[in-house]
Amino acid sequence: MNKSELIDQIASAAEISKAAAGRALDATVSAVKQTLKKGGTVTLVGFGTFHVGKRAARAGRNPRTGATIKIKSAKIPKFRPGKALKDALN
C-alpha cells in the first residue's frame, strides 16, 4: 500500500474527502517526526510505539576499494508493534 492508497482508505473509512484525509495523514506524520526529533516517543494504543534508537559508530568497508572507513553513530527511528497488531496478524 502506498500513500495515495492509504489516503483513499482513510477517506472512505472516515467518510471525508480525499483532500481532508491527505491533510490529516500529513499532519499525523509531521507530529510523529517532530516528537521523534525531540527524542520523545509516540504510542498508539493497539497499534504500536515509535521511538528513537541509537546506532553505535562502527568500522565499515568501501566495497569498491576495500578500504576501511569509519561510520559515524546515528539516531534511527524504530517501531515496536503493540499486542493488538501482533494478534491481528496471527
The proportion of the chain whose per-residue pLDDT surpasses 70, expressed as a percent, equals: 100
d(CA 7, CA 45): 21
CB burial string 33-60: b at 16+ within 10 A, e below? eeebeeeeebeeeeebebbeeeeeeeee
Q: What is the pTM of this model?
A: 0.80
Answer yes or no: are the C-beta atoms of 21 and 14 closer than 8 Å: yes
d(CA 47, CA 84): 6
Summarize the confidence of residues 48-58 as an average pLDDT: 96
Summarize the confidence of residues 75-80 as an average pLDDT: 96
Summarize the confidence of residues 22-39 as an average pLDDT: 96
Beta-carbon-side half-sphere exposure of residue 41 (alpha carbons within 13 Å): 11
Q: Which of 59, 58, 41 shows the shortest CA–CA distance to 50?
A: 41
- pLDDT category, 17, cuts 50, 70, 90? very high
> In the prediction, which pLDDT does 89 show?
93
- pLDDT category, 27, cuts 50, 70, 90? very high
> In the prediction, which pLDDT does 80 show?
97
Task: Copy the grid coordinates of residue 70.
Answer: 569509519
Task: Copy the grid coordinates of residue 20.
Answer: 481532508
Calculate the average pLDDT of the chain. Answer: 96
